[in-house]
Amino acid sequence: MSNQEYLLSPDRQWTDTEVELIWKKPASHTASEEEIRICQEIKRNWNRGEMKIANLLLEGDAGSGKTQLAKALSANFRLPYTKVTCFADMDKSDIIGAILPVLSSERLEKLELEDREALQALYDSDGFQSAAEVLMNALGLSQEEAAGKLRQLFKQAADDRNGESVEYRFYPSEIVRAYQHGYLLEIQEPNVIRDAAVLMALNSALELDGSLNLPTEVIRRHPDFIAVITTNRSYAGARPLNEALRDRVQHSEKMDLPAKAVMIERAMAKTGYRNEEVLDVLAQTIIVLDQTARANAIKGIAGMRSYFYWVDAVAGGAAAAESLYYKVIYKMTTDSEEIKLLEDALRDRRLLESLHEMEIKKKTSSRHGGDAGLGNDRRFRFCL
């Protein structure tokens, strides 16, 4: 894919910090069909007014490549990539941002150390990072903890209105920042949000010609802003993605465990391991485990991440049949009955046997002076 092909706003000037946020594809990245389709669609409709495509939904299996696809769009369109990971008790300030008082140094002194550090970090910030991000960096908090801290500071400020009159400053959220400056924003798992008012705020932020009412000003959606919602498909018992939110996307992709050839291609690129026969058996094993888990309501996931680490272990000399447990099966479940179901499915398709045979071939070939070097195609010659 040529570098320029999908540029959306070729004349835009970016600051150095913004350029840093534009994703650079690693050598191991391979463009998927979905990536090419989305880029063509967005490019085609970019200047078509109301028909513009700027809200996307990528829904499907864990590890199927949703986040990497969102990042690849950042690289192809040359838009800074930012993300927000949603959590159950998100509130409106997590969508919009928070107003905090600017305290005098005397009043700062009276606060608990962590609150003082938090406020100081916010005062010192240049307004480029979102408030939550400032706290995550300054205090080493998770996104959720940072949101909690902001809420606490906010509440404290509200309770403490008496006394000296204070100046307030508005700290925008990550969403507002991307919305206002025209970045590509990945919104991870918005289905977990419980508060309907928060979902409404998010919905209105996704209107194509929308605007956001901030406490300090009204800001309009930047024409380059692209929102990519990524979410796992809802399973029984999980909260499905809000219908109104779903309705606001103009293009969606069903992301599943990729086809076997794509799995092998990605694993080769990531691990440098090239024995296609081995890669094939391991990929088939993952596919069968994934299907069996679904059919039997086993919650664990046999996906791309397990595949990469398993391939890597085998490439490093681990026995495939044994490392299957540490890299794949025990990650899915440690329940004996479920493990038996998974093993039976592999046995039915002779995959357990193939994994064991690989070991025997490996041992025999090294006894006969066979080269056991990484990536040597003759290393595991066996018939399936």
Ligand X SMILES: Nc1ncnc2c1ncn2[C@@H]1O[C@H](COP(=O)(O)OP(=O)(O)OP(=O)(O)O)[C@@H](O)[C@H]1O
Q: Do strands 226-231 and 55-60 pair parallel, antiparallel, or not at all (unpaired)? A: parallel
Tell which positions 244-273 bind ligand X, by CB under 6 A.
Answer: 266, 269
**Nearest residue to Mg ion on Cβ basis:** 67
Q: How far is C-alpha 82 from the geometric centre of its chain's CA atoms?
A: 10
Closest approach of Mg ion to the CB of residue 61, in Å: 11
Task: Check residue 232 for interaction with ligand X (CB under 6 A).
Answer: yes
Q: Which does 29 bind (CB under 5 to 8 A by kind): Mg ion, ligand X, none?
A: ligand X
Residue type, 361: K
CA distance 366 to 257: 34
DSSP string for 14-47: --HHHHHHS----TT----HHHHHHHHHHHHHTT
* Positions that interact with Mg ion (CB under 5 A): 66-67
Closest approach of ligand X to the CB of residue 57, in Å: 13
Beta bridge partners of 230: 58, 188
Question: Which C-beta is closer to ligand X: that of 270 or that of 379?
Answer: 270
Q: Which does 305 bind (CB under 5 to 8 A by kind): Mg ion, ligand X, none?
A: ligand X
Residue of the chain from 38, 54, 65, 320 that contacts ligand X (CB under 6 A): 65
Question: Which C-beta is closer to ligand X: that of 58 or that of 358?
Answer: 58
Element (H, E) at 218: strand 218-220
Residue type, 7: L
Task: Check residue 204 for interaction with ligand X (CB under 6 A).
Answer: no
Question: Which C-beta is closer to ligand X: that of 182 or that of 303?
Answer: 303
Question: Which C-beta is closer to Mg ion: that of 62 or that of 261?
Answer: 62
Beta bridge partners of 172: 97
Question: Which C-beta is closer to ligand X: that of 131 or that of 286?
Answer: 286
Task: Check residue 67 for interaction with ligand X (CB under 6 A).
Answer: yes
Closest approach of ligand X to the CB of residue 283, in Å: 13
Closest approach of ligand X to the CB of residue 360, in Å: 31
Closest approach of Mg ion to the CB of residue 163, in Å: 46
Tell which positions 4-63 bind ligand X, by CB under 6 A.
Answer: 28-30, 32, 62-63
Task: Check residue 304 for interaction with ligand X (CB under 6 A).
Answer: yes
CA angle 290, 292, 298 (to 5 degrees): 85
Question: Which C-beta is closer to ligand X: that of 30 or that of 284?
Answer: 30
Whose tokens are 């070939």? That residue is 365
Q: Which of 258, 323, 337 is nearest to 290 (CA)?
A: 258
Whose tokens are 């002076």? That residue is 369
Question: Which C-beta is closer to ligand X: that of 257 or that of 345?
Answer: 257
CA distance 130 to 98: 10
Q: Give the number of residues in contact with ligand X, rule: CB under 6 A.
A: 17
Residue of the chain from 52, 233, 305, 356 that contacts ligand X (CB under 6 A): 305
Q: Which does 177 bind (CB under 5 to 8 A by kind): Mg ion, ligand X, none?
A: none
CA distance 358 to 379: 10
Q: How far is C-alpha 345 from the geometric centre of its chain's CA atoms?
A: 31
Structure-block tokens of residue 374:
């990484």
CA distance 130 to 80: 14
User: Where do contacts with ligand X occur on this chain (CB under 6 A)?
Assistant: 28-30, 32, 62-68, 230, 232, 266, 269, 304-305
